[in-house]
Structure 1
C-alpha cells in the first residue's frame, strides 16, 4: 500500500524534529557536565587562592607589624565574596558559587582581623573606615535597594552587574601592590603563589560562566587572567634583580687605603695559582677602615709565607 506523499513528508519532518531534540538534549546534558566540572575546578583553585596569603600573614606575625602591606585587597575580597553569595541566592543552580564564597568570607574575616591586630594606629583606622564603607554601608545599601526597587529577573540582572563591577575591582585592587613592587624593585610584598592561583582561578571561572551563559561571571575573569599574567611577569623581572643585588652584596669589599710594600732585596718568585688564592683570601680579612703597612716576603716555602702573612694581619 502506497502512502500519500504528504504523509511521507510529515513522517520525515517528525523524524527530523525527534533527532533534533535528541541532539539538543545530549548537548545540553554534555554542557551541564562541563559546567559542573569547571565549577568544581574553580572551587578547588579558589580554595588555594583564599589560602595563598598565608605566607604573607606569617611574615606579619614574625615581624609583629603590617608595615609595607595593604589591607585593601582583603577588604575588597570580603565585600566581593558577600556580593556573590547574595547573587547566587537570587539565581538557581549556583550552589558552587555559594560554597566557595562562603569559605572566602570566613577566611577574609580572619585575615582582616589578623591585620587589624598587628597594624599601626593609622593603618587600623583606615582599614576600619574601609570596612564600614564597603562591607557595612555598601553591601547593606545594595541589598536594600535591590529588594525594594527591583523584582524578579531585573533584580538578578542588577545585582549581577554590581557583582561584575566588584569583581573587576578585586582584580584591580592588587595594583597598589604592583606599584609598590615597581617603586621598590622588590617582590617581597607580592606573593607569587597568589598571582599563580588567581590566574588559574580566572581561567576556571571564565569557562564556568561561559558555559552557564552568565557573562557577569565570565567577563571579569578575562581581566583577572590578564592581571595574573602581568603580576607573574613582574615577579620574574624583579626577582632576578633581587638575586643580582644579593650577589653584588656578597662580593668581597674593595681594599682601600692599603699600602703594600714589596721588598726587592731578592728576586720576586713567580706565584702559583694556589699562592694567589691564599693571598686573596687573607687579604679579604683586612678591615677597610684601617691602614696597613704590609711587607710581603715571598720565598719558595709557601708555609713560611702564610705564617708571616697571618702574623702581619694580626697586628
Structure 2
C-alpha cells in the first residue's frame, strides 16, 4: 500500500498560502503591473493544490485531519486579508504595502517550513524524509526571484526570496552532509537496483 510515511505536509501547505498571497498581491487592484507575479504564483498554486491532494489521498487519518485544519485556517485567513485590504485601504500604494508585508511573512514561512524536517535530519542523521528536489527547487526559486527583484527593485520580493535562497542553501548543505549516514530501506533502494538490472 502506498503511503506518505513520515513525510510532513507542512512545506506544501505553506506553499499554498504563499502562492495565494502573491497572486492577490499581483492583482491590479493591489499592485498594478505585476502580471509575472500573478502567472507564476497562479501556476504554483495549482501545482501545490494538486500535490497536497495527492499527499492527502495517501495520508493516514491523522495527517488528513491536520491538512484539512491547515487549509481551513488558510481559507479563512485569505478571506480576511482580502476583505481588510479592499475595505480599509483605498489606494494601491497602501494595499501593496499591507499585502506586501503579509506576503513577505508567508514567503519566509514557505521557505522555512522545511525546518521541521531539517530538525529531524539533524537528530536522526538521515535525509530519508527530506526530499532533495524540494530543497533544490526552493534554492533555485529563491535565486530566480532575487534576480527578478533586483531588476524591478521590488523590496517585497527581494527580502523573503533572499532569505529563501539562504534557507535552500542550508537545506542542500544538510542533505550533502547527512546523505552518507542515511540508512535507506530496501524499498528505497529497489528502484535504483531495478534500473541497474534492466541496463545489464
Which bin holds the TM-score, normalised by the shorter protein?
0.7 to 0.9
Match in the other structure for 1:76: 14
Q: Deviations over 1:259-311 (max 9, x none)?
A: xxxxxxxxxxxxxxxxxxxxxxxxxxxxxxxxxxxxxxxxxxxxxxxxxxxxx
Unaligned runs of 5+ in 2: 187-200
Q: Does 1:140 align with 2:84?
A: no
User: What root-mean-square deviation, in Å, do the aligned CA atoms of Structure 1 and Structure 2 show?
Assistant: 1.7
Unaligned runs of 5+ in 1: 1-62, 247-315
Q: Does 1:111 align with 2:51?
A: yes
Contact 2:16 2:48 (C-alpha < 8 Å) held by counterparts: yes
TM-score under structure 2 length normalisation: 0.86
**Structure 2: distance between partners of 1:242 and 1:140:** 43
Match in the other structure for 2:191: none
Structure number with bigger Rg: 1
Q: Does 1:67 align with 2:5?
A: yes
Per-residue deviation at 1:116?
Answer: 1.4
Q: After the TM superposition, which segments of 4 or more aligned residues of structure 1 sit over 2 Å from their partners? A: none
Match in the other structure for 1:226: 166
Q: Does 1:161 align with 2:101?
A: yes
Per-residue deviation at 1:193?
Answer: 2.3
Per-residue deviation at 1:160?
Answer: 0.6
Q: Which structure 2 residues correspond to residues 131-210 of structure 1 after superposition, within 5 A?
A: 131-134=71-74, 136-152=75-91, 153-210=93-150
**Structure 2: distance between partners of 1:179 and 1:113:** 25
Query: How many residues are paired up?
Result: 182
Match in the other structure for 1:252: none
**Structure 2: distance between partners of 1:207 and 1:239:** 30
Secondary structure in structure 2 of the residue aligned to 1:146: helix
Per-residue deviation at 1:175?
Answer: 0.3
Per-residue deviation at 1:191?
Answer: 1.8
Secondary structure in structure 2 of the residue aligned to 1:241: coil
Q: Residue 213 of structure 1 is aligned with which of 136, 150, 153?
A: 153
TM-score under structure 1 length normalisation: 0.55
**Structure 2: distance between partners of 1:83 and 1:242:** 36
Contact 2:26 2:32 (C-alpha < 8 Å) held by counterparts: yes
Q: Deviations over 1:5-46 (max 9, x none)?
A: xxxxxxxxxxxxxxxxxxxxxxxxxxxxxxxxxxxxxxxxxx
- The alpha-carbon distance between structure 1 residues 193 and 118, as it changes in their structure 2 partners (threshold 3 A), is closer
